[in-house]
Amino acid sequence: MCKRSKSLSIQGDRNGSFEPILVPKHQRRIAGLDENILALYARGNSTRAISAQLEEPYLMKTFAMKTFTLNDGTQIPAFGLGTWKSPADEVRQAVKTALELGYCHVDAAWIYQNEQAVGEGISAAIGSGAIARESLFVTSKLWNTFHRPQDVETGCRETLSALGLDYLDLYLMHWPVAFKPQASQHKNPEDFYSLDELPLSQTFEAMLKLREKGLAKSIGVSNFTPSKLQRIITETGVVPSVNQVELHPYNPQNELLAYCQAQGIRLTAYSPLGSGDRPDSMKQKDEPPLLDNETVNAIAQTENLSAAQLLIAWAIDRGTVVIPKSTHASRLAENLAAATHTLSAEARAALDAIDIQYRYVSPSMWFFPGITYQGDSFWC
């Protein structure tokens, strides 16, 4: 996975490994890129086109892209491109540019309504020779309307068709919530299947069959709590390979991380930068912006990083996969550079000690006791 050269792999810490890939020399800096290069990106030039305009064209070096081994033996890159909230007319070029820069992991979902454009970006990058399909890791997610076992394959095939792919490297159950397909909206209790009517384990078992058909290599979940994870493990006898959840210093989910580590489940961090660009309808008044946090910015300066780069490095240092979203070429490059930063012990401890608790993504309109969750709350 992610191999762009025949160089020898380097073993990494926290159960990860490093695989060298080739990147342009002009991306050697962690904190930023030359303004002239950024201007070329801004005008829509590809990495290869930019290299032709530089005094030292496309002089390559290797850097180490960390990977983790999932419980089914699959290698997953520790860093990837998130596509939630990316407009279709922007994400096509963003995906192509990211893959040219050296990304090899793209995270998508049926509900993002941009999978066709994501697939076009992937196709363009493969067509240009920037990356081969077998070196690319693509994740997508089963939406809530496809939870009935007979609908699971349909949901997967719709995603594959939109992306223009034959298989997914990782397929996740997007939420532990099942919509009734015939309902036009999902705002009332009767619009949902209860956990007793349609157990999550039945959906998960149907997803496992996708592996047998060659439609997905690994199967996991998203937004699952320890109690929900334990229930599907007990009922199916299979441990999900990944659990993708909101993770950042305001919502570190330490108990969930410890549980997943004990079970051999790899966590992926979404909204690692605080998701400040999500729709206003999803925001609360006076919510604390993560990127403006004084501690985060002070530590970033000492580490010679931007605040965003620091949060990416923190996520990987914890042993989690991280998928920041961007459609801007300069930020794509800077985010990628952060993925190889070695965080100091002092920086890690200071970030771990932040005592603000805040969850940015919480679909409270789905919270119906006894239907979409059991126990004290949806997040228990």
Residue 215, C-beta contacts closer than 8 angstroms, at least 6 positions apart: 153, 156, 157, 160, 167, 168, 171
- How far is it, in rounded angstroms, from Cα 144 to Cα 152? 10
- How far is it, in rounded angstroms, from Cα 316 to Cα 293? 20
Q: How long is the chain?
A: 380
8 Å CB contact between 214 and 164 = no
Find the angle CA(255)-CA(261)-CA(262) to the nearest 5 degrees: 90
Going by C-alpha positions, the residue among 159, 153, 155, 163 that lies closest to residue 211 is 153
Q: Which structure tokens are listed for 21?
A: 């890939």
Residue 238, C-beta contacts closer than 8 angstroms, at least 6 positions apart: 204, 208, 219, 232
Find the angle CA(229)-CA(233)-CA(235) to the nearest 5 degrees: 115
Instruction: Give the catalytic positions in this structure.
Output: 112
- How far is it, in rounded angstroms, from Cα 84 to Cα 32? 24
Amino acid at 155: G
